[in-house]
Amino acid sequence: MSRTAAIALALMSCAAACALARPCRVEVPPQAFDAGGWALDSQFMDTIGSPCLLAHGLGVRVMDAKARIDVPSAGRWRVWVRAKNWADGAPGRFRVLVDRRPLAKVFGEGSRDWTWEDGGEVELPAGTVEVALCDMTGFDGRCAGLVLAVPGEPEPKGALSPKSLPISDTHDFDFVVTGGGMSGVAAALAAARAGLKTAIVQDRPVLGGNASAEIRVWCAGEARHPLIRELRGKFMNRDAMASYGDRVRDRICADEPNLSVFRSHRAFGVEKAENGSIAAVVALDLSRNAAVRFRAPLFCDATGDGWVGYWAGADFRMGREAKSEYDESMAPDKADSDTLGASLMWTSRDANTAVPFSAPWAEPHAQGVTAVNGEWNWEYGIHQDMIKEAETIRDRLFLAIYGAFSLAKKNPDNACRVLEFCPYLLGKRESRRLLGDWVLSEKDITGKNLFPDAIATGSWSVDLHYDDYTNGVDFLTTCRQPHYGRFWIPYRSLYSRNVQNLFMAGRCFSATHVGLGAPRVMNTLAQTGLAVGEAAALCRKYSCLPRAIFSAGHVRELQRRIGGDWPGNPDPSKADWRYVDDETAGVSFGSGWRHGFCCCGEQFGDKASFASHTSAPAVYPLPVEKAGRYRLHAIVPYFWEATRYGTTAYEISSGGEVKEFSSRIGIRMGEWKELGEFDLEPGAVLRVIPGKSTGRVIADGFAVSPVR
Ligand SMILES: Cc1cc2nc3c(=O)[nH]c(=O)nc-3n(C[C@H](O)[C@H](O)[C@H](O)COP(=O)(O)OP(=O)(O)OC[C@H]3O[C@@H](n4cnc5c(N)ncnc54)[C@H](O)[C@@H]3O)c2cc1C
């Protein structure tokens, strides 16, 4: 459906409603505009009631947004614009042009809530007329729709909700994943590769969620599976190269014949079957202003905010549990509604000429902080409601950033500094957590619970954030990050306990606030997606619902499909491997080695060991039971990307012979790499020799396997 046709549809339904011979209202929702330089922002659709257009120009006025509308009859029409004055000083002002003539009224300087602002009357001809939103400031003016009404008609009430749109298309799939962050993409790809006709319903034009170039968070945690290594972002926080990851994800998804990606589709509800399960997810196609229905027997909620579960009536929890509930030492004594906060990680750079920037209205909100960049700890909303107050949280961060940068620009050293990137999409860490048959909690992490249904692993710290108000600044936080080494996530925390055909993947999976603290990094969460996708394939194979994968004994098969070692279910392809870790008894390190958790993961066991070039050798007795020819394998953690640039020197002593060799071991971090074939006898010893190595020297796990 074309944009004009969609508007005409709105017009006709309105005409019917007012039961007059002459249609009395023309509704122009934000998604009916060609956005120009405005962003079409749907992240707060469920609280604003509709998407909105946002003039996010970082202080530079953005190009007009325009829509062409059909005016049913010539005459006088009153113009209503849904706008909001988002901050003191009315920084988000804009004008509206109707039929190329500006209205006298300036919008965005009235009420602090979303309101239909009266733009006065205009004389219009019948037929197609252009309306345009003309940004005046570049500072986040916003518009959630425009209505033309016959004079005397009542003021519009509420949002131009997509809920009033008729369903224009119905799609049938085997599996529908809502939310295209790392977890959702992993779930959808795994299911599609397992043969399920799969859809991703994603509200953004790109995939990746927080990892995308729109938000630019670095993908950390254990990737474990090749699919996640394919998908993960490879650049650090705020790096513009995150867009490379977006392109890779696009390509991988486009190459998968069983997968359909519905970009710019914001889900806004579900349809339920009589038995309470989900029959369909309903979404607004933002590019066509059309409502679309996605039917399937199985669904996955990977929205981060648990929207699908929420609409379906799934049990969920938001906020912090009391210490007593799950016996969590890191939980507060009393339950409360705090969550981890949300961030906009921003950057500036030097231009080759002086560039003005002034936001005096924002400066008080910087609370004395002067800055030209902001990292993860520019975080707000810990004590707010991450769903209901999300727009306010985002705006509060805008004010802090614009204010701090405006103050920094007063310093002549920063004259050429230009605000380069500040997301308008709120980077969220936590909101609703949907409850499954198991709720992952602190003790599962600290006690390394060896779940029989483990389907994912992590080794990130329990990374909890707290406000830092003691410094007198309310938008900066601190964190505590105790490490406990490798932990496991059970399958039972990936499906809803009361909506029978709903999986969840990503940060809305079943965990306590503290329990989420460790698995909440994106590679680890993508593992939950992968497991859900594989489980969906098993549900089809056995004609069963998600719970039965556990209760009917299919978990071993699920683990085998994912691959690798699981508690009580070691990898059969490595049945004849014998391992030695840096923590194994008998392994010794000379002076100068350090040992530590690598929270970014993929080390063998809980720790890795690293040396400088002056360190003495490390000695690993090799687990050789009888003389023969063996392959020697090694692994080092992903985090030590720097090993790629170095060569590690080794020496093997066996049966009185000494053999030296070297390897660029870091080329495939986090994966076992074969170092070569050797004739070994019981008592063989491997030495890692920092003095002869170049680059970073890491010693972690080694293995031998017999050559057959
Ligand atoms: C500032 C910051 C720093 C962080 N640091 C790190 C770090 O260093 N490393 C790390 O790995 N993790 C980090 N995290 C945590 C990590 O980014 C999140 O836990 C992670 O993004 C969760 O992944 P997800 O797939 O569950 O959700 P998301 O990445 O949020 O993806 C969810 C997707 O669903 C879409 N969506 C939401 N609602 C709808 C709907 N109704 N219809 C359609 N689509 C919808 C969203 O647009 C989004 O694309 C950080 C987070 C923040 C905010």
pLDDT category at 5 given cuts 50, 70, 90 is: very low
Q: What is the pLDDT of residues 37-63, one digit of tens each?
A: 999 999 999 999 999 999 999 999 999
Strands 433-434 and 593-597 come out as unpaired
Write down the pLDDT at residue 472: 83
Specify the residue with its C-alpha closest to ligand 1, atom 17.
210
Question: What span, in angstroms and rounded, lies between the C-alpha atoms of 270 and 434?
Answer: 16
For residue 699, how far is its CA from the centre of ligand 1 (angstroms)? 33
Write down the pLDDT at residue 584: 94
Q: Does the pLDDT of residue 670 top 50, yes or no?
A: yes
pLDDT category at 10 given cuts 50, 70, 90 is: very low
Write down the pLDDT at residue 468: 87
Q: Does the pLDDT of residue 666 top 60, yes or no?
A: no
Write down the pLDDT at residue 77: 97
What is the DSSP annotation of 334-394? Answer: S-B-----EE--BEEEE-SS------TTTGGGGTT---S-B-TTBEE-TTS-TTTTHHHHH
Question: What span, in angstroms and rounded, lies between the C-alpha atoms of 207 and 248?
Answer: 10
Specify the residue with its C-alpha closest to ligand 1, atom 21.
210
Taking residues 412-439, what's their average pLDDT?
98
Write down the pLDDT at residue 647: 86
| Ligand 1, atom nearest to 523 Cα | 11
Specify the residue with its C-alpha closest to ligand 1, atom 23.
506
Pocket test for ligand 1, best of 177, 217, 433 (most atoms within 8 A of CB): 217
| Ligand 1, atom nearest to 183 Cα | 25
Question: What span, in angstroms and rounded, lies between the C-alpha atoms of 452 and 463?
Answer: 25
Write down the pLDDT at residue 469: 83
Q: Does the pLDDT of residue 8 top 60, yes or no?
A: no
For residue 613, how far is its CA from the centre of ligand 1 (angstroms)? 39
Q: Residue 352 CB: number of other CB atoms within 10 A?
A: 7
pLDDT category at 236 given cuts 50, 70, 90 is: confident
CA 258, 504, 486, 450 torsion: positive or negative? negative
Taking residues 614-621, what's their average pLDDT?
97
Question: What span, in angstroms and rounded, lies between the C-alpha atoms of 128 and 69?
Answer: 5
Pocket test for ligand 1, best of 177, 202, 210, 510 (most atoms within 8 A of CB): 210
Structural domains in the chain, sorted by start: 3-164 (2.60.120.260), 167-320+430-562 (3.50.50.60), 342-421 (no CATH), 578-706 (2.60.120.260)
Q: Does the pLDDT of residue 9 top 50, yes or no?
A: no
For residue 616, how far is its CA from the centre of ligand 1 (angstroms)? 43
CB contact set of 469 (below 8 Å; sequence gap of 6+): none
Taking residues 551-575, what's their average pLDDT?
96
Give the end-to-end CA distance of the chain in Å, rounded to a whole number: 63
| Ligand 1, atom nearest to 237 Cα | 8
The more confidently predicted of residues 544 and 662 is 544
pLDDT category at 35 given cuts 50, 70, 90 is: very high
Taking residues 263-279, what's their average pLDDT?
98
Q: Does the pLDDT of residue 642 top 70, yes or no?
A: no
Taking residues 470-478, what's their average pLDDT?
90
Q: Does the pLDDT of residue 69 top 80, yes or no?
A: yes
Which residues lie with the beta carbon below 6 Å from any ligand 1 atom?
Answer: 178-184, 201-204, 209-210, 217-221, 266-267, 302-305, 307, 342-343, 345, 376, 427-429, 506-507, 520-522, 525
- Please list the residues that pair with 147 across neighbouring strands: 27, 80
Query: What DSSP character marks residue 566?
Result: B
Q: What letters, b where the CB count within 10 A reaches 16 and e where it falls short, cover 137-147?
A: bbbbbbbbbbb
For residue 167, how far is its CA from the centre of ligand 1 (angstroms)? 29
pLDDT category at 20 given cuts 50, 70, 90 is: very low
For residue 304, how far is its CA from the centre of ligand 1 (angstroms)? 6
Taking residues 345-372, what's their average pLDDT?
97
Q: Does the pLDDT of residue 13 top 80, yes or no?
A: no
For residue 429, how far is its CA from the centre of ligand 1 (angstroms)? 7
Q: Does the pLDDT of residue 21 top 70, yes or no?
A: no
How high does pLDDT run on average in the chain?
Answer: 93
Burial of 540 (0-12, 13-18, 19+ CB in 10 A): middle
For residue 567, how far is its CA from the centre of ligand 1 (angstroms)? 29
Specify the residue with its C-alpha closest to ligand 1, atom 45.
179
pLDDT category at 645 given cuts 50, 70, 90 is: low
pLDDT category at 635 given cuts 50, 70, 90 is: confident
Q: What is the pLDDT of residues 132-149, one digit of tens each?
A: 999 999 999 999 999 999
CB contact set of 146 (below 8 Å; sequence gap of 6+): 27, 28, 67, 79, 80, 81, 82, 96, 131
Question: What span, in angstroms and rounded, lies between the C-alpha atoms of 557 and 539?
Answer: 12
Specify the residue with its C-alpha closest to ligand 1, atom 10.
521
Q: What is the pLDDT of residues 503-538, one digit of tens each?
A: 999 999 999 999 999 999 999 999 999 999 999 999
| Ligand 1, atom nearest to 529 Cα | 25
The more confidently predicted of residues 204 and 234 is 204
For residue 210, how far is its CA from the centre of ligand 1 (angstroms)? 4
Tell the residue number behind the tokens 């279910």, with chain if given.
Answer: 569
For residue 222, how far is its CA from the centre of ligand 1 (angstroms)? 16
